[in-house]
Chains A and B, each alone.
Chain A
Amino acid sequence: MFPWVDGFQWSLGHIVFLSLFFAVVLIIFSTLVSAAWRTASVFRTHRATEMCWRMNFAELPEAERRCRHQLAGRVPSRICDNAFDCRHCPKYAEFAALPPRAPSRNVRVDYSADLLYHRGHTWVRPEGDGTLTVGLDELAQHLIGHPDSVELPVKGSEIESNGIAWRMAKNGHEIRIRAPIDGTVVSTGENGDGWYLRLHPRDPVNLRHLLRGAEVRGWLSSELDRLQSQFSASNAKPCLADGGTLMAELMDAMPEADWDSVLEATFLET
């Protein structure tokens, strides 16, 4: 194999054969090293969170990737191809100017006109001092109820939009909550406080990607449809909706449901 190994010959056939072999081995290992190097580079340049989010987004079912303008009834059908980041969407202004025609259905979940909503079921409220308060929306609270534990980021830590902001555990399930916005954690709250994080946002602050107004009703309506379909037994026949309201502490009330799938769909995991 090498000139100093017994049996090596300085013949053309030997040299050509071994050269080809070493070239192939070199290409294979270079490919592996290159992939590892590029991976390290992505983490070094803090692009990992966005890359992971975009890859997860691409794997979401179509029904969970509907554009906010479809949810608001501004366009009949449109699938987001921008990972829910309307800040860089070239079509945003064109569609936002259209009048909303959100479904008139009463979603029976409280949502506030003062709050801005992220598709991962968090809300954002701009405060007078320039900070942003982040909390879990009503629907998510109905599902989880009182979590068994909450793991919040420490004060001063940086969180990235669509990265994991905090983790919760309930009945053996780990729930990872996506951050609605980039920022530095100023303070943390508790479940009883009604909010979880207070952030100092990165400049310039742009909250355009968060849902508001008619979009929220359309989005919650589609989320409730999804939940209804996920909670119904796989062999259930089509039936009329009962028109009831969402129960509190659903994870406790329906332990038999496929909570891994429900939680992943709710909190934008794949």
Chain B
Amino acid sequence: MSDLLLIDRRWIARGVERTPTMRFVLWLVPWVALLALGIYAAGLCLYYGLNQTNMDNRFAFGMWIFLDLAIIAMGAGAFFTGFLVYILKQADLKPILNSAVVLGFICYSGAVAVLMVDVGQPLRAWFTFWYPNTHSMLTEVTFCISCYLLVLILEYIPVLLRNRQLRKVPSFLVFEHQLHKLVPVLAAVGAFLSFFHQGSLGGLYGVLRGRPFAFRQGFAIWPSTFFLFILSAIAVGPSFLILVTATAETLTGRQLVQPSVFRKLGFISGLLLALYVAVKAIDTLVWLNITSPSLGFGPRDYYSYWPLSSTFLFAVTVPLGLLPALLLIMPTTARKRGWLLLGAALACAGVLLNRFVLTVQTLALPTLAFDQFLRYIPSWQEVATFGGVIAYGVIVYSLSYRYLPLFDPPKGAGKHVSLG
């Protein structure tokens, strides 16, 4: 036991305080159990097929696609923070960049893992690359997410190699330094890829002509949902980063970043969210008054089915849209940690609800005269796989926080400097 404690202590950076080993192990136990359950459930789905889920030919998108859309939107904080730091030269956000990279890596690797279960037949995953259907938004999503996951792995490697023990290997340290110097290239590629796959995730709903609830007009080959998804992702990414970092601060009892970093991220998030709400409101009005009637559908066809009533539309727009935007922008509320976190949480909840509505409500609504309103309750295997991805995220972030330099060391300690 004492050997385990010694090994654990040796991997934690010198000069930083971390929770005692046993307490950390106890924190991990329930998450590891949830991850194990998730792996078991995913194994059942891969072995027996999608009959383990409550999805069918009509309800082909379920909880997993909602999870994918949600965590990819939340993971946008990684590319957007990298874009702000390396391309727009917002150096004051650098202290939170490593944390953003790890979060992005978790979100995208989790999304790819759950997509593998959802699509099934993982041994044939390469088919999508070898025989691409370039007319499909999903092909663009697959290509961009795969490439961006590669980018995130390359961005994560320098963080990983700065671990106390790994950095003692000279080749690791030099490689880390050389890769770190090239990170701006990766940040630019990441921004390009994210722009397109965030958009295409929205676009794939907007082109569903047979689903009037989702179908939208747009610009050139892109429906309006393409742009709305990009905007909402870059609006909510920084908010999610704030929430996760604030949660880590609460759990560890330490200040990890300066409040000014939170305020700046919050302001950017709020501003983009306000823009998103404005564009979304215009888009909704155009859809309800022009696009939808031209297809023979009115608002009653969408919002008269409990529980997916117009309350959801109102919730996404006002209490989970406009309100958090104001909380994050107004100096009087943004200065107070509680209001700032509430704003960030509401913003995240808003985008989660938006992704849920677009995934579930689109498929639940009847589109033909003989159609029924469908109900979908995920099976325990779907829920467990969902939980497994969440547990995976918590475990990777916890281990990264414990053993890697996610945040700047305390004042007076050494700092990473550019050596040219």
Q: How many residues of A contact B (CB 8 A)?
A: 45
Given the complex of chains A and B, what is the CA–CA distance between A157 and B159 in angstroms? 34
Flag A46-71 by CB within 8 Å of B: 1 or 0 each: 00110110111011111101000000
Given the complex of chains A and B, what is the CA–CA distance between A39 and B417 in angstroms? 18
Flag B149-181 by CB within 8 Å of A: 1 or 0 each: 011001000000000100110110111011101
Given A5-B130, A43-B171, A260-B10: 19 more A-B contacts, CB < 8 Å: A24-B192, A25-B147, A28-B147, A31-B186, A32-B179, A35-B178, A39-B175, A48-B170, A48-B171, A51-B173, A51-B174, A55-B173, A56-B173, A59-B414, A61-B413, A65-B414, A265-B14, A269-B14, A270-B164
- Contact yes or no, A39 B174, CB < 8 A: yes
Flag A157-199 by CB within 8 Å of B: 1 or 0 each: 0000000000000001000000000000000000000000000
User: In the complex, which residues of chain A have a beta carbon less than 8 angstroms from the beta carbon of B374?
Assistant: none
Please list 13 pairs of residues, one from A and one from B, whose beta carbons are closer than 8 Å in the complex, sorted by A's number. Answer: A1-B131, A1-B132, A6-B131, A27-B185, A28-B147, A42-B178, A51-B177, A58-B416, A172-B6, A261-B14, A264-B14, A269-B14, A270-B14
Given the complex of chains A and B, what is the CA–CA distance between A88 and B94 in angstroms? 30
Q: How many residues of B contact A (CB 8 A)?
A: 46
Taking a contact as CB atoms closer than 8 A, the residue among A28, A38, A54, A62 that contacts B151 in the complex is: A28
Majority secondary structure of chain B interface residues (helix, strand, loop or mixed): helix
- Contact yes or no, B178 A32, CB < 8 A: no
Quick check: is B264 within 8 A (CB to CB) of the other chain?
no
Given the complex of chains A and B, what is the CA–CA distance between A264 and B10 in angstroms? 11
- Contact yes or no, B189 A28, CB < 8 A: yes
Chain B contacts to A: CB under 8 angstroms = 6, 9-10, 13-15, 129-135, 139-140, 143, 147, 150-151, 154, 164, 167-168, 170-171, 173-175, 177-179, 181-182, 185-186, 189, 192-193, 409, 412-417, 419
- Contact yes or no, A18 B132, CB < 8 A: yes
Taking a contact as CB atoms closer than 8 A, the residue among B14, B175, B185, B193 that contacts A36 in the complex is: B175
B108 CB → nearest A CB, Å = 14
User: In the complex, which residues of chain A have a beta carbon less than 8 angstroms from the beta carbon of B417?
Assistant: 58
B408 CB → nearest A CB, Å = 11
- Contact yes or no, B415 A58, CB < 8 A: yes
Of the listed residues B15, B174, B189, the one surrounded by the most CB atoms of chain A closer than 10 A to its CB is B174
User: In the complex, which residues of chain B have a beta carbon less than 8 angstroms from the beta carbon of A204?
Assistant: none
User: In the complex, which residues of chain A have a beta carbon less than 8 angstroms from the beta carbon of B189?
Assistant: 24, 27-28
Given the complex of chains A and B, what is the CA–CA distance between A57 and B170 in angstroms? 14
Of the listed residues B132, B134, B415, B417, the one surrounded by the most CB atoms of chain A closer than 10 A to its CB is B134
Chain A contacts to B: CB under 8 angstroms = 1, 5-7, 9, 13-14, 17-18, 21, 24-25, 27-28, 31-32, 34-36, 38-39, 42-43, 48-49, 51-52, 54-56, 58-63, 65, 172, 258, 260-261, 264-265, 269-270
A267 CB → nearest B CB, Å = 12
A228 CB → nearest B CB, Å = 16
The 3 closest A-B pairs by CB, nearest first: A59-B414, A35-B179, A38-B178
The residue on B at minimum CB distance from A174 is B168
User: In the complex, which residues of chain A have a beta carbon less than 8 angstroms from the beta carbon of B147?
Assistant: 21, 24-25, 28
